[in-house]
Amino acid sequence: AQSVSQHNHHVILSEAASLELGCNYSYGGTVNLFWYVQYPGQHLQLLLKYFSGDPLVKGIKGFEAEFIKSKFSFNLRKPSVQWSDTAEYFCAVKGSNTGNQFYFGTGTSLTVIP
């Protein structure tokens, strides 16, 4: 079945540690990839997106993600996390064979300890 997988469900890091959150998808065809962040009690906000071109995309707040087509992956990274990065992170896919629909992974809860 087509899906978006985020294997890290809960991640706890100390401030200044490096972050990498995994995202794998199983949709065929051309895909557009997104990472969204949801701060406690808030709505989802776009962190970054990939449509084409350079597979390494940079987003807001120092986040970046790398699209590796051969691995069907779009992992999110940040070299040094801050306490304010504590949030839920969602990977999403919109593909040529998903119509207008966006499909989300199950989310990764990140807690950054000061």
Partner 1 sequence: DTAVSQTPKYLVTQMGNDKSIKCEQNLGHDTMYWYKQDSKKFLKIMFSYNNKELIINETVPNRFSPKSPDKAHLNLHINSLELGDSAVYFCASSQNRKISPLHFGNGTRLTVT
The residues binding partner 1 (CB under 8 A) are 30, 32, 34, 36, 38, 42-46, 49, 51, 88, 90, 92, 94, 96, 99-104, 106-107, 109
Report d(CA 67, CA 43) in Å as an integer: 25
| Cβ distance to partner 1 smaller for residue 36 or 81 | 36
User: Is the CB of 80 or the CB of 111 nearer to partner 1?
Assistant: 111
Containing 33, the helix (H) or strand (E) segment is strand 31-38
Closer residue to partner 1, CB minimum distance, 16 or 46: 46
State the minimum distance, in angstroms, from the CB of residue 23 to partner 1.
14
The b/e string for 75-100 (b: 16+ C-beta within 10 A; e otherwise) is: bbebeebeeebbbebbbbbbbeeeee
Would you say 45 or 80 has its CB closer to partner 1?
Answer: 45
For residue 96, the minimal CB distance to partner 1 (Å) is: 8
